Structure formats: structure tokens, C-alpha cells
Structure 1
């Protein structure tokens, strides 16, 4: 079934690949019969179609679950509670429903917050984590701008979200990709855009600002592969990673959507890293 009813929310998801999603032999990435599932998590104002360039290749050797978060895509949109923490809880329940005992959680932007919550609050579920230009750990002028952005979003969530979306691209971003994401933002309920953004960057425990994220992200015990286009952000996160198998990748010149701009290279780096975890 492409939909799973979790009670307060109904999630759309796809389930591809040969693996059974169980704990297997404890070595994610080896392509064996007990392969740990890959859980792909999109960003704010997007949906699981974000991973269409990656799913076919990953599903050759992995069970791949790609879900629309609450309030996004084909999933239902509750009136309240559309936050990264709630979305992580949804994914934990979805994994239980699908019989997934452990996974490699891959998250882009807001999705990186979601999978980090999953790794901290449900550590037995997350064998390894991939964060793609994460929406956490901002400091300085960027973090200082969040309160005023949230105030403007309360008046017009869609206009501010579209302006934010324009920031996510640069000259390396294909025009079709910019338009694809613009249309996804337009299709996301405004109250979801506001609630999720405020929880990410304005709440008392918002991981989007560094004074909240330092201690919390340090609680991730699993190996982490993280991609950044900003070397300064990459250097900051490198100091938080606990497992020696963790790796930080910097792609200067790319945009926030680096995994969609460079899908073949992204897949190569991810699959090689997963393979290294079993060696």
C-alpha cells in the first residue's frame, strides 16, 4: 500500500528494492539479504519526489522507503503539530508498521533535522545517518534574521516561503529544478509552511540555531555522512560527530539542492560510504 494511516496523520510513501528492512547482519550498505532499509526524507515545502533521481539506483541493492512528511505532498495535513519532531515520530511509527527494525536515514534540509531527531530519540532505529545541506546549526547574521522572517511568515507564509526557496538555488541549479521546487512550495498548505519553519528556526529547542543544535546533535551516536556547500558550516559540524566513521563532504559552488544538481556523484559518495561501514 502506498498510504499508511498512523491515526492522526496518513502518510504517502513508496517502498522499493529487494531488502526486507530488518536488522540484517548489522552492516548497512553490503547489499546482502538482510540489508538495512534506506529512509529518504525531503525538505520543507517539498515531497518525496525529491528523490526520483536516486531511488532507482539505490533500490537495486537496498530497500528504499521515501515518504511525504505530514502536510506535504500526498500525505494529510493536520491543522497543528506540523513540526520536525512530530515528523520524526511519524517516521518511527511508519517504520514499525512496515516491519523496519533499523535503517540508514537520509535527510535533506528540514529532513536532516527530522532524521537527527530520529537518531537521538530512537537510536536503535538509526544505524547511520546522511544529512544533505542540513537545516540546522546556523549562527551570525543568518540566525539573527530568523525572528523577523517568522513574523513576516505569520502574515504571508507563502510569499516568504517562495522568497526562501529562491535562496536555495544558484547558477549551478538547472531552471527545471527551480521551477519544480517552486511548484512544490505552492502546493504546500500555508499553515504547514509556517508551523514547520517556526519549529525549525524559532522555537525554544529549534535546531536551526546553533545555540540549540550543538548539544543536541552531539547526542547522535551513529556514523554520520554530511554534505555542505558552505565550508564554515561543514567545519562546525565536523566537531560534533562522535563515530570515527563519520565523514563531512564539502561541495563549494553547489546550491542547497546539491543532491539534485549532482545526483550521480551524490549516489557514488553515499554508496561508497555505506560500503565502508561494513568493511
Structure 2
């Protein structure tokens, strides 16, 4: 299995074009998943991109196949790991795509590393709040006491929208069951202690995708992020009947929106 060393972490990853982007005008997209997920979350979406662009998907430290080694996890630390992956794979600039927890990470990257970021796509980003702190601390306690099954038995049914299918719920359940409980708990604590990124420092082109039935990343929180982003080129897209697992619940719509965003970036960079 392909692993890459980023800082002190051994991360599992996949690269659609390991020899480099397919054309001189191609973009490189780096995908960062959310809590209880893996790079496989993006596999229904990336076929919309890989004909023209390079796509790198990462299991973040402590998630899925990237082993947890008892280190404290922070969201800025995950952002540093993404830059570490880019460095190791010789990617100078990338469009970063993040879901949920990963949505916080990509805004952090846009604010802290503007010279490395060509664009930011945030999918259902979870804006830090007192409610989120309470939820994440409770989840951390639950999985350390009872394992990952309580999350797998509830999240696939409570965090999706009205359009979701039994097959989609099964996929989400499988993603959650693939987590190390200790790694999952550490990531819960990372989210609980996270501070909002400096949204005003994000100037790269910005795409925000939200589900109108998302209970985990509230519309209010997403609108707060959107209105505070400084990008001159930014757009907010709302998916009807979709909850928090956008790339599974509405893969073709999300893939199409990201592909369109890539087309716009190519025009801007031409």
C-alpha cells in the first residue's frame, strides 16, 4: 500500500497521476476528509476530475489506514501534514478540498500558506462553536469507553439528508467502522479545541458547498465562513435534500461543481 511520510506521520494516500499532472494546464487537487472517514469518501467524486487533473487523496493522521501513534492531534497540525505530503510528492501548488473537519483544515491552509494554495473548496465545513465542543467531547468519551460501533450505528442514519439511500448509509457505516477508536477520539478532541481559521486571510478563489439538510455543519456557520472570506472570487452552492455526507449523497453534483471550479481556475491562471 502507498504511504508517504509527512512530518512525523506515516500517511496512506492515493495519487491519480503519480508521474505528474497529465497536461501543462492541469491542476493538482489535494483532498482532506472529515471525522470518521477516509480518502475513499472522495472516490465517487474524483472521476469528474481525473481526466484533466491530478488528484491526491490522503487518510489523515489517526484515520483509516494512517496509523495513530498516540500523538496529540490538532487541525493546524493536519494542515502541516498536507503541506508535508505536497512537499514529498513535489507539488508546488494545489487546490485543496476539505469536508467537515477537513473544511476547517483547508481554510487554515488558505490563510496560512497562500503561496501554496491555488484554490479552496470547503464542503460542509464545521465552524467552531460551543455546541460542537460539547458534541465532540461526548463522542470522544463514548468511543474510548464503548468502541467505534456506537458511532457507526447512529451517524449514517442521523447525519444524512432525505435523498440518501440505504447503499449510501452502508458506505458511511463502513467508513466509520474502519476507524481506530483512539485515533477517532483524538480527532474529536482536535475539533473540540479548534479555533476558527483567520477567514479574512483567505484570498484564493473559494468554493463553499453545503447541504440544506446538514445538521452537523449549520447553514449559519457556513454563511459566517463565507461572508468573512476575503476572496474576490467566491461562490456558495446549496445542495437540496443533502445532509452532511455530500460526496456520497450527491456525488455527481459535488464532482460537477468542483470540476467547474477547476475550469474557472484555469481561465484565471491562463
* Range into which the TM-score falls when normalised by the shorter chain: 0.7 to 0.9
Deviation at 1:180, TM superposition (A): 1.8
Residues 1:128 and 2:110 aligned together:
no
Distance 1:216 1:168, change over 3 A: same
Residues 1:89 and 2:80 aligned together:
yes
TM-score normalised to structure 2 length? 0.85
Distance 1:84 1:264 in 2: 28
Counterpart of 2:215?
none
Equivalent residues of 2:48, 2:256 under 8 A apart = no
Deviation at 1:159, TM superposition (A): 5.2
Distance 1:9 1:142, change over 3 A: closer
Q: Deviations over 1:167-205 (max 9, x none)?
A: 32233212122122222222211111111111112x1xx
- Where do residues 1-279 of structure 1 align in structure 2 (5 Å cutoff)? 2-6=2-6, 8-17=8-17, 20=20, 32-138=23-129, 145-152=135-142, 155-156=145-146, 158=148, 161-162=151-152, 163-201=154-192, 203=193, 206=194, 212-213=195-196, 216-230=198-212, 231-277=219-265, 278-279=267-268
Equivalent residues of 1:38, 1:64 under 8 A apart = yes
Equivalent residues of 2:36, 2:175 under 8 A apart = yes
Distance 1:147 1:12 in 2: 27
Q: Which moved more, 1:185-194 or 1:149-158?
A: 149-158
- In structure 2, runs of 5+ residues without a counterpart are 213-218
Distance 1:82 1:235, change over 3 A: closer
- In structure 1, runs of 5+ residues without a counterpart are 22-30, 207-211
Distance 1:18 1:7, change over 3 A: closer
Distance 1:191 1:78, change over 3 A: same
